[in-house]
């Protein structure tokens, strides 16, 4: 079993998922509503919205959509996307990219449990936690 984050946007899914591709790499697939069987059932102003997006990397899959519930989109702080990075260079690079025009909550710093950890909200309002456990890398190098 695998859990994949599925993010909902308010008409800017294309922009957000393109940004995440620039930050995280991978292959991006975008399915606009106008190119789907749902096109005839949707209002004209939604034709360019994204029905489904998938960003696939070697490590994870991040999905997104512009299809909000009838109640509208409500961003909250009850969930964060956590990335376990493979090096200090990687955690700092991804953190720097994701934090552009966002809000940093915790700069990357050593924790008392021996990892590097940082957290932020990106410019689209999504919460991210980045983690790098040097001890795991040292353990893997010994094996």
Is the pLDDT confidence value at 98 over 90? yes
With contact defined as beta carbons under 8 Å apart, do 67 and 10 qualify?
no
The widest CA-to-CA distance across the chain, in whole angstroms, is: 59
What pLDDT does 50 receive? Answer: 95
d(CA 91, CA 124): 20
How confident is the model over 5-62, as pLDDT tens digits?
A: 999 999 999 999 999 999 999 999 999 999 888 888 888 888 899 999 999 999 999 9
More confident residue, 137 or 43: 43
First-to-final CA distance of the chain: 26
Domains of the chain (ranges, CATH numbers): 6-65 (3.10.180.10), 81-142 (3.30.720.110)
- pTM for the full model? 0.87
In our burial notation (b when 16+ CB lie closer than 10 A, e otherwise), range 65-100 reads: bbbeeeeeeeeeeeeebebebeeeeebbebbeebbe
With contact defined as beta carbons under 8 Å apart, do 88 and 132 qualify?
yes
What pLDDT does 40 receive? Answer: 86
The stretch 74-94 carries a mean pLDDT of 93
């Amino acid at each position: 079993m695998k859990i994949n984050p599925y993010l909902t946007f308010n008409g800017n899914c294309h922009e957000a998922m393109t940004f995440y591709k620039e930050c995280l790499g991978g292959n991006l697939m975008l399915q606009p509503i106008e190119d789907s069987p749902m096109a005839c059932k949707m209002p004209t102003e939604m034709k360019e919205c994204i029905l489904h997006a998938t960003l696939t990397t070697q490590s994870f899959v991040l999905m997104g959509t512009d299809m909000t519930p009838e109640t509208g989109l409500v961003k909250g702080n009850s969930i964060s996307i956590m990335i376990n990075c493979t090096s200090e260079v990687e955690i700092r690079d991804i953190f720097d990219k994701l934090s552009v025009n966002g809000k940093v909550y915790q700069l990357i710093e050593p924790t008392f449990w021996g990892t590097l950890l940082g957290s932020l909200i990106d410019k689209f309002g999504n919460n991210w936690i980045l983690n790098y456990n040097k001890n795991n890398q040292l353990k893997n190098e010994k094996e």
